Amino acid sequence: MPTNSEQPQAKWGMVIDQDLCTGCQACVTACAMENNISFVGEEDAGYGRSMQWMRIERFWTGSYPEVTTGFQPMLCQQCGEAPCEPVCPVYASVHSESEQINVQVYNRCVGTRYCANNCPYQVREFNWRDYPRPEPLNNQLNPDVTVRRRGVMEKCTFCVQRIRRGEDQAAAEGREVLDGEVLPACAQACPANAITFGQLDDPQSRVSQMARSERGYKQLEDLGTLPRVTYLKGGSSHGGNG
Amino acid sequence: MAVTAKPLSGPAAGLSERDDPGEHLMLDPRPRGEMNSLVMESMHATSWRFWAVTALLVLVVAVCLVAAWGYLIANGLGVSGANRPSYWEMFLVNTVFWIGIAHAGTFVSALLRVLKVEFRRPFTRAAELMTAFALINVGLSVFMHLGRVWLFYWLIPYPNERGLWPNFHSPLAWDFLAISTYLVASTMYLILPLIPDVAMARDRSTGWRKLLYRILAVGFRGTESEWVHLKTAMNIFAFTVLPIMFTVSTIVSWDFAMASNRPGWSSSIFGPYFVVGAVHSGIGAVVMVLYVIRKTMKSMNYFIRIEHFDALGKLMLVMSILWAYFFFNDYMVPWYGGDAFAKALQKFIESGPLSWILFTVVLCNAVIPWLTLWNKKIRRFPGALFVIGLLINVGMWFERYMIIPLSLTINRMPFTWRIYVPKVEIPLTVGTIALFILLYMVASRLIPLVPVWEVQEGQMMHSLRKVGKAMATSTTEIE
């Protein structure tokens, strides 16, 4: 099976170093701010309706008192062969040819939720209600990102608005996008620098080099979804030099 | 004109001596006029109980269907129990369930008609009506499920201002086409055999009824050439609607089976498994409806007889055995395959907090029919068959519940595993059931529930002949 860096069509990608991740949730917060994600409230969040394009999955290993904590940031893997795309009856879940990411067209979505069922990573979020934005939260909405209403599906876009801005800036200055010039909100906010973002089609980019690390693995790689996110194995289980 | 000796529903050798030939509808003919008035009477006779039940059902539909759905649309699916990972909820359980009920009409009517099974004659109409009304509930349940139901027409392929066709890669788009095709074909198939009966009713009614029947009868007078055309059309539709029936359940099953990475769903056996399950619940529902109309409607005792319950009981047993075969297969292969998530799912279904659902399914769909329906005495006791048919439908509903919300609980991301608890789905489910019964009750007083011409045709074809000392039934081909 080809890996990310071997796929010619792969463009934007991410590497998450689980050795560095502390599970602080700064990425989750930054993502919610950047992308106008609704706050669903305690009751709905407790019932599995929390809306987080980026979530920190926490796992306990062992039994008391020998307990260790594991963190796994989980976001849309921007699959090259995305299971969510073919099942949408109204073409709301489509592949972007120019960015090579999986995009959701909110205005087309009628809310069959088939894409979310078919996503093995369970990273698609549904707007179960119109959640309120009490004052002054309504003033912090990001004008670059659509505000979604009830009944539509949404998910991580790799902060496509930032990618576009970076590309436009580079085009205006008549140059290529520099490595590290485009940063999604989560990577920008991560205090431990566990998230690296960049172009996979450039083998010299930092993200491409890190994706080739021997600690690297993909989530549910055996399904053949060709994820664009590489995780670097963390914890003491690994003896390599990373 | 060929004459063949053909058993009705009795033992294979024809009628044994202890059988009363009079118990078979086909061998108990009545004059044409008398039979027509029996059917007309059953349409006109209403007691205060009928109106009381109708009023109650209207109330239930208004509260549980109209008001609850309005509440759902106004507030979004947050008022339902759907969550991550159970993005699909009880509405789709109901959708698959009603598709199952919708199989009854076609199976009983079209399949048994093209196979020339004689016991079908008095209740083909009753079964076809179930198909039509169940398909209304299928549509309603799908629409309840949509997040933005006001945009449902985006699923319809038509040239539009958005410049966008539906995605024909999606099983949901196939689904939409399959269900709407089935609705059109089965409605046509309901209307065609109805024509001679409404023509009969037209000649025997006055006032608004006469007007209604005149429209429905499309000027049918019963001439030879009209009969030839009608028979040809019915034959074409019987053979057309049958493959549609088999494909509609299969395509619905593909909504699940094509989700190739989901434990519990990615099964290559789902197509036939769903068809068998659908027919299983459909026949159970036919038995229930026949029991109720025989109990409550005037002179139905003549048309719906013990022999029909007996024959349908045998059919239920066969379908139960077939269903169990597929169920076992669908369980065995993932178990043997040993995929970690498939195992986690099976463990959850077998011994999780909702394991009673699995045992209800097995008990109602297999154990109870097997323990009872082999017995002729039970098969010939309509009350018992009503209960068994009800249990089969409960079991089949829970089988779909097991396949949809229960299977969705377990996925490949253990962090998100969560149990689904239905909320507004419950009144809406009650509402769809009430709507089905209400539509059926209204229809039972508006259109002849027994196809009189079909019964009369059967009675003309059948006669008793003496073969040596024994009496044998013989069938004459009159076509």
**Cross-chain residue pair B148–A152, CB shorter than 8 Å:** yes
Instruction: Please give the domain boundaries of chain B with CATH numbers for all domains.
Output: 3-11+24-157+166-476 (1.20.1630.10)
Task: Flag whether A106 is in a domain.
Answer: yes
Here the tokens at position B113 are 């008609």
Question: What is the tens place of the pLDDT at every residue in B122-150?
Answer: 999 999 999 999 999 999 999 999 999 99
Nearest CB partner across the interface for A89, out of B145, B173, B408: B173
Q: Are A77 and A219 in contact (CB under 8 A)?
A: yes
Size of interface A-B (CB pairs under 8 A): 139
Q: Report angle CA B336, B338, B341 to the nearest 5 degrees.
A: 135
Residue reference for tokens 């593909």: B254
Q: What is the pLDDT of residue B299?
A: 84
Lowest mean pLDDT among A14-23, B216-225, B470-479: B470-479
Task: Flag whether A238 is in a domain.
Answer: no
Contacts of B164 in chain A (CB under 8 A): 90-91, 108
**Cross-chain residue pair A87–B82, CB shorter than 8 Å:** no
pLDDT band at B13; cut points 50, 70, 90: very low
- Start-to-end CA distance of chain B, whole Å, equals 8
Q: Report angle CA B358, B142, B270 to the nearest 5 degrees.
A: 45
Count of domains forming chain A: 1
Q: What is the pLDDT of residue A5?
A: 44
Top pLDDT among B116 and B191 is at B191
pLDDT band at A59; cut points 50, 70, 90: confident
**Cross-chain residue pair A49–B83, CB shorter than 8 Å:** yes
Chain B residues touching chain A at CB-CB below 8 Å: 75-79, 82-88, 145-149, 151-152, 154-155, 162, 164, 166-167, 169-173, 176, 255, 258-262, 408, 411-413, 415-416, 418
Task: Flag whether A241 is in a domain.
Answer: no
Q: What is the pLDDT of residue A237?
A: 53
Nearest CB partner across the interface for B167, out of A49, A91, A125: A91
pLDDT score of B403 more than 80: yes
Shortest distance between the Cα of B99 and any Cα of chain A, in A, equals 18
Average pLDDT, chain A: 90
Q: What is the pLDDT of residue A2?
A: 45
Q: What is the pLDDT of residue A236?
A: 58
**Cross-chain residue pair B413–A122, CB shorter than 8 Å:** yes
Question: What is the tens place of the pLDDT at every residue in B405-428?
Answer: 999 999 999 999 999 999 999 999
Other Cβ atoms less than 10 A from the Cβ of B272: the count is 17
Q: Can you give the CATH number for the domain in which A170 is found? A: 3.30.70.20
pLDDT score of A242 more than 50: no
**Cross-chain residue pair B147–A109, CB shorter than 8 Å:** yes
The one-letter amino acid code at B144 reads M
- As a whole number of angstroms, the distance between CA B416 and CA B16 comes to 64
Q: Which residue of A has its CA nearest to B407?
A: A117
Shortest distance between the Cα of A203 and any Cα of chain B, in A, equals 31
Q: Which residue of B has its CA nearest to A128?
A: B78
Nearest CB partner across the interface for A86, out of B78, B151, B170: B170
**Cross-chain residue pair B169–A86, CB shorter than 8 Å:** yes
**Cross-chain residue pair B418–A150, CB shorter than 8 Å:** no
- As a whole number of angstroms, the distance between CA B225 and CA B295 comes to 38
How, if at all, do strands A229-232 and A12-17 pair? parallel
**Cross-chain residue pair A122–B75, CB shorter than 8 Å:** no
pLDDT score of B19 more than 70: no
Q: Which residue of B has its CA nearest to A59?
A: B415
Residue reference for tokens 């009753």: B126
pLDDT score of B386 more than 90: yes
Here the tokens at position B190 are 């309901």
* Average pLDDT of the residues in B425-445: 96
pLDDT score of B15 more than 60: no
pLDDT score of A10 more than 90: no
- As a whole number of angstroms, the distance between CA B200 and CA B367 comes to 45
Question: What is the tens place of the pLDDT at every residue in A205-216?
Answer: 999 999 999 999
* pTM (predicted TM-score): 0.93
Q: Which residue of A has its CA nearest to B404?
A: A117
Q: Are A191 and B116 in contact (CB under 8 A)?
A: no
Shortest distance between the Cα of B85 and any Cα of chain A, in A, equals 7
Give the DSSP per-residue string, chain A: ---GGG-TT--EEEEEETTT-----HHHHHHHHHTTPPP-HHHHIIIII---SEEEEEEEES-TTS-EEEEEEEE----TT-THHHH-TTS-EEE-TTT-SEEE-GGG-----HHHHH-TT---EE--S-----TTGGGG--TTSPPP-TT-EE---SSHHHHHHHHHHHHHTTSPPPTTS---HHHHH-TT--EEEEETTSTTSHHHHHHTSTTEE-TTGGG----SEEEEP-STT--S--
Shortest distance between the Cα of B346 and any Cα of chain A, in A, equals 18
Q: Which residue of A has its CA nearest to B84?
A: A48
pLDDT score of A241 more than 60: no
pLDDT band at B254; cut points 50, 70, 90: very high
pLDDT band at B20; cut points 50, 70, 90: low
Q: What is the pLDDT of residue B28?
A: 85
Q: What is the pLDDT of residue B4?
A: 60
Residue B455: name the closest of B167, B149, B39, B104 by CA.
B39
Contacts of A114 in chain B (CB under 8 A): 170-172, 255
* Average pLDDT of the residues in B107-113: 85
Q: What is the pLDDT of residue B282?
A: 94
Q: What is the pLDDT of residue B267?
A: 87
* E strand or H helix that includes residue B307: helix B306-337
**Cross-chain residue pair A110–B169, CB shorter than 8 Å:** no
Interface predicted TM-score (ipTM): 0.90
Here the tokens at position B311 are 């024959």
pLDDT band at B7; cut points 50, 70, 90: low
Q: Are B287 and B434 in contact (CB under 8 A)?
A: no
Lowest mean pLDDT among A197-206, A216-225, B17-26: B17-26
**Cross-chain residue pair A91–B258, CB shorter than 8 Å:** no
Average pLDDT, chain B: 91
Interface with B, mutate which of A110, A129, A222, A231 (most B CBs under 10 A) = A110
Q: What 3-state DSSP class applies to B346?
A: helix
**Cross-chain residue pair B76–A116, CB shorter than 8 Å:** no
Q: What is the pLDDT of residue A69?
A: 82
Task: Flag whether A239 is in a domain.
Answer: no
Interface with B, mutate which of A44, A53, A117, A150 (most B CBs under 10 A) = A117
Q: What is the pLDDT of residue B3?
A: 58
Nearest CB partner across the interface for A122, out of B147, B169, B416: B416
Chain A residues touching chain B at CB-CB below 8 Å: 44, 47-49, 55, 57-59, 72, 74, 83, 86-91, 108-114, 116-118, 120-122, 125-130, 150-153, 220, 223, 225
Question: What is the tens place of the pLDDT at every residue in B73-107?
Answer: 999 999 999 999 999 999 999 999 999 999 887 88
Task: Flag whether A145 is in a domain.
Answer: yes
Question: What is the tens place of the pLDDT at every residue in A65-74?
Answer: 888 888 899 9
**Cross-chain residue pair A90–B154, CB shorter than 8 Å:** yes
- As a whole number of angstroms, the distance between CA A169 and CA B235 comes to 69
Q: What 3-state DSSP class applies to B160?
A: coil
pLDDT score of B257 more than 50: yes
Q: What is the pLDDT of residue B8?
A: 52
pLDDT score of B188 more than 50: yes
Q: What is the pLDDT of residue A36?
A: 95
Nearest CB partner across the interface for A117, out of B76, B87, B169: B87
Contacts of A130 in chain B (CB under 8 A): 76
**Cross-chain residue pair A127–B145, CB shorter than 8 Å:** no
- Start-to-end CA distance of chain A, whole Å, equals 22
- As a whole number of angstroms, the distance between CA B285 and CA B261 comes to 34
Task: Flag whether A25 is in a domain.
Answer: yes
**Cross-chain residue pair B77–A128, CB shorter than 8 Å:** yes
Nearest CB partner across the interface for B76, out of A87, A108, A150: A150
Q: Report angle CA B18, B20, B21 to the nearest 5 degrees.
A: 130
Shortest distance between the Cα of B240 and any Cα of chain A, in A, equals 27
pLDDT score of B12 more than 50: no
Q: Which residue of A has its CA nearest to B153?
A: A110
Q: What is the pLDDT of residue B14?
A: 46
Instruction: Provide the CA B62 distance to its chain's centre, in angstroms.
Output: 24
Q: What is the pLDDT of residue A7?
A: 53
**Cross-chain residue pair B148–A72, CB shorter than 8 Å:** no
Contacts of A41 in chain B (CB under 8 A): none
Residue B75: name the closest of A32, A137, A130, A97 by CA.
A130
Shortest distance between the Cα of A21 and any Cα of chain B, in A, equals 17
Q: Report angle CA A159, A160, A163 to the nearest 5 degrees.
A: 100
Residue B431: name the closest of B141, B78, B75, B100 by CA.
B141
Q: Which residue of B has its CA nearest to A111?
A: B147
B474 strand-pairing partners: B5, B463
* Average pLDDT of the residues in B24-52: 89
pLDDT score of B1 more than 50: no
Domain span including residue A100: 4-232
